[in-house]
Structure 1
């Protein structure tokens, strides 16, 4: 057994079933070892970055760590963006990279890169293998840290060491996986109870850290008559139909979700490092609970920080807090949330047959068609707006994306990783045309592996979210910079061996979504949609009004000066608003 085979044996023993990567020189001994067994599948991708996103999806969805691999310097560098996404989402991923032979390190050898320095920020630990004797020790340490810290770790295996005879087999053991609970000290819990009991109205801002504590949080909400606002990552924990949920806050949030956070006397921040300080209260008392103490008070001043897991800490608060009787605050926000949802149902009605089409109609159709345990991979940009506002991730549904890192091109490769892991579940990916163009080379990977992923591409020939950012900043959109030159994505899917359909009329949307659901091949819906939909944040202050107003004035002036694209943009925005 050589060192590569030993590494593969360790991964097998820890339940790894897929390694995503591109083969090459220093990595070839590991690829050869994989070919000699049938437990771990080598999933060859066309770009290493897509492999790291696929590994992220498996780490996020599989109660285990994902694995991606690349060869030396250039290939390893391609992994970075997907690994940063895993880091920011707190997803366990192991990245295996090759390295030039040890004798050439430090000599500016062909393809040599200082990978330890390059990966230092993204990885919590790097297992730099420099001898067969140390290999099992540092490899096991990397896996332990990735699993128990929910982070990214890297294993560096030089090409010469990868083929050497393995040592220290007796050291190899099953990895310890912590299931320990963390609860704050009793005096801190008493202080929290007193603050809660004294408050007239309580709001809850719940994040992904509540995933294992949904029932406890719902019980606390019911007891305190507290509306629940959730983060984007928590959309599949506190979905639109969950009792006392009033929506999302932040840049793509809704009014009731925003008001629940801003207008309460006391805000409970549970398992969230919510980044947008402008959407957090300035004068409200705040109690923050988090498993990571460095997050406490990270985004705004707090009155009390509690270091603990959400399930144990909230359970303790439940036992000691007093029931609140007045539900006026809660009922008012729930009514506003219902009105907002009703308005969205109207916006997503197929009778709105403007062409190019309204993207909301597609999102609602997928929501109504997908299975109750479907997995959704959501790309960054306007796709996240349509998904979060017009879809409901209830029942056993899961949603993943680049919600903290905010990287484009996460949708398709994450769908590949998700479908390989969960062969019995539907996997839908909602992506923008800009993001799809970045990753479409691996649609053929989905075809090669017979993965029936369903990809909807919001084809508006524009970087839509960037346009919104320009307008909010008071800039007239630069149409040349925003333009995306597209081809027929459905025909591309067929060319790759998959299937697809291009949709340009509202009457064809439901049939297209049904066709995608039934398909046994990777399927692309090329949804030709308008780029003129306005998406406004729940809080619109003077700066936002000023920025948007200045943008529109500049657009009109440019239109009068003969810029045809500005005229077309203004006309389409007016038509989309009044349709």
Structure 2
């Protein structure tokens, strides 16, 4: 295949944008792409067992590097399997390039084998689709797509019909260098002045920081010091701000803590910094809100704002800080720090190895991983109760990073996100926190870690139930439905060994530190199967009347079902009482 083939030119464009690895499952329409990669030296094809996992891995790479991630699926079903992982990338604002095959043009519209109208299917998830109908379109359309993925942080798709992908590009005139650095965005001075006026008039100012603060942490801390303002952060901001940082009081929301909750709810001025926190009922109703974000769609869509500053957090704070008067009163910040410190002490007690009731409390495992993991470890989170244990019982000291399905909240994202992270640097320590439900959806690709010798460490919380769904049912007032939430699991530790990795099942608290140490030292992919109670309750920082009423009604209904002979309800009560008393 010559240097001007459609696929070779595509590889040139992807390489210029920083692409190095492509996750996917090959097939007939992708075979020319694989052949173009042969001997190229710039790219590594990473063959996974399911395309959805390829998309999650590509998302993780884009999220962690700020560059692009690349995934691929062939005609029809192979392309369709990418979609859920791509939706996750879209919701997280990650630049992912999806390469898909397509049937030959002469077969289009005939109901040909595996024919799917991919343009329609991908219309919602993709910011741009480059459908290569002729070789001369390749340079221009592919560059538009890759450029948008890299700078706009969009999901894009490049379609390669089988009758086009092997052809030669007639001219490279349209090729040009990819723009790699986005422009800095700042708001007009009039809006800066208005925001400064509101902040200067406030008595109890709080900061609410999100992932948009990644490159501006020190400036946010300086703002907090100037205003004596507590810093609450979103879940996506957890690997930016740690409790060791001055005035940081952690998270709000259902998995937050009282310090973070009251800092946001009780302030008279709230400054939202690079966050699109979606739960409006945790935002203040009477405070004046100032929001700084480089995405205009985020401004004011969660709560009414008094001032919206369209710009990068760091560049905007450079202009805002000199206009702000220092505030001497620390009483508001000190109160939230006190609430947070008290809560952290309780979390330490909850995660102590002395709480050796069996089945074990899941907090113990998260705490031990946090205590032993490397300072630059990457934590890949699945969705469910395991998200809570990571949020509450791990610390993001040093250069630790976190990746997960934060906005899309899709089960099964933890393991493939860990694969993407491990592929970037196999020497960097990567932990996947998975519930048994989430791990069961993606566990086939544990063998991918074995194949490529990535020593990922997978902590599987095995409580034989969809625990978070069970709690959602209870809070909503529904009784336990074991037919829907109970799980039958294999021996996950043995599964790891069968796949060629290693693993250990842990049932006693005293064995947890050694298990974590074994996983950390292992040069093989490793599974810690944590046998934990399904009765652990996740308590939010503030319980309102609706939550209490719903939980009470669920218990009443469970009692009625128990009286009718549904003995699973009694078993559930026993587990919950044992875990929480």
TM over 0.5, yes or no? yes
Is 1:374–1:428's contact at 8 Å kept on the other side of the alignment?
A: yes
Question: Counterpart of 2:212?
Answer: 209
**Which sits farther off after the overlay, 5-14 or 251-260?**
5-14
Of 384, 387, 412, the match for 2:387: 384
User: How many residues are aligned here?
Assistant: 578
How far 1:248 sits from its partner (Å)?
Answer: 0.5
Matched, 1:298 2:331: no
How far 1:38 sits from its partner (Å)?
Answer: 2.7
Of 164, 170, 175, the match for 1:172: 175
TM-score when scaled to structure 1? 0.99
Q: Separation in 1 of the partners of 2:558 and 2:538?
A: 18
Matched, 1:344 2:350: no
Is 1:241–1:392's contact at 8 Å kept on the other side of the alignment?
A: no
Question: Counterpart of 2:269?
Answer: 266
Matched, 1:463 2:449: no
Is 1:467–1:477's contact at 8 Å kept on the other side of the alignment?
A: yes
1:393-472, aligned counterparts within 5 Å?
393-472=396-475
Of 184, 193, 204, the match for 1:190: 193
Q: Separation in 2 of the partners of 1:360 and 1:419?
A: 25
Is 1:16–1:66's contact at 8 Å kept on the other side of the alignment?
A: yes
Report the 3-state secondary structure (helix = DSSP H, G, I; strand = E; otherwise coil) of the residue aligned with 1:95.
strand
Question: Counterpart of 2:10?
Answer: 7
**Which sits farther off after the overlay, 536-545 or 436-445?**
536-545
Q: Separation in 1 of the partners of 2:15 and 2:311?
A: 33
How far 1:541 sits from its partner (Å)?
Answer: 1.2
How far 1:183 sits from its partner (Å)?
Answer: 1.2
Matched, 1:278 2:281: yes
Q: Separation in 2 of the partners of 1:35 and 1:187?
A: 56
Is 1:231–1:274's contact at 8 Å kept on the other side of the alignment?
A: yes
Structure 1, unaligned stretches of length 5 or more? none
How far 1:269 sits from its partner (Å)?
Answer: 0.8
How far 1:47 sits from its partner (Å)?
Answer: 0.4
Matched, 1:367 2:370: yes
**Which sits farther off after the overlay, 351-360 or 555-564?**
555-564
Structure 1 runs (4+) greater than 3 angstroms displaced: none
Question: Counterpart of 1:485?
Answer: 488
Is 2:239–2:402's contact at 8 Å kept on the other side of the alignment?
A: yes
How far 1:395 sits from its partner (Å)?
Answer: 1.0
Of 518, 535, 553, the match for 1:532: 535
Matched, 1:329 2:322: no
Is 1:62–1:421's contact at 8 Å kept on the other side of the alignment?
A: no
Is 2:17–2:146's contact at 8 Å kept on the other side of the alignment?
A: no
How far 1:36 sits from its partner (Å)?
Answer: 3.0
Question: Counterpart of 2:244?
Answer: 241
Is 2:479–2:555's contact at 8 Å kept on the other side of the alignment?
A: yes
Question: Counterpart of 2:310?
Answer: 307
Q: Separation in 2 of the partners of 1:36 and 1:373?
A: 33
Q: Separation in 1 of the partners of 2:44 and 2:401?
A: 24
**Which sits farther off after the overlay, 166-175 or 440-449?**
166-175
Question: Counterpart of 1:22?
Answer: 25
Is 1:348–1:361's contact at 8 Å kept on the other side of the alignment?
A: yes
Question: Counterpart of 1:132?
Answer: 135
Is 2:48–2:54's contact at 8 Å kept on the other side of the alignment?
A: yes
How far 1:340 sits from its partner (Å)?
Answer: 0.5
Is 2:17–2:68's contact at 8 Å kept on the other side of the alignment?
A: no
Matched, 1:517 2:520: yes
Of 45, 48, 54, the match for 1:45: 48
Superposition RMSD on alpha carbons, in Å? 1.0
Q: Separation in 1 of the partners of 2:102 and 2:380?
A: 33
Question: Counterpart of 2:361?
Answer: 358
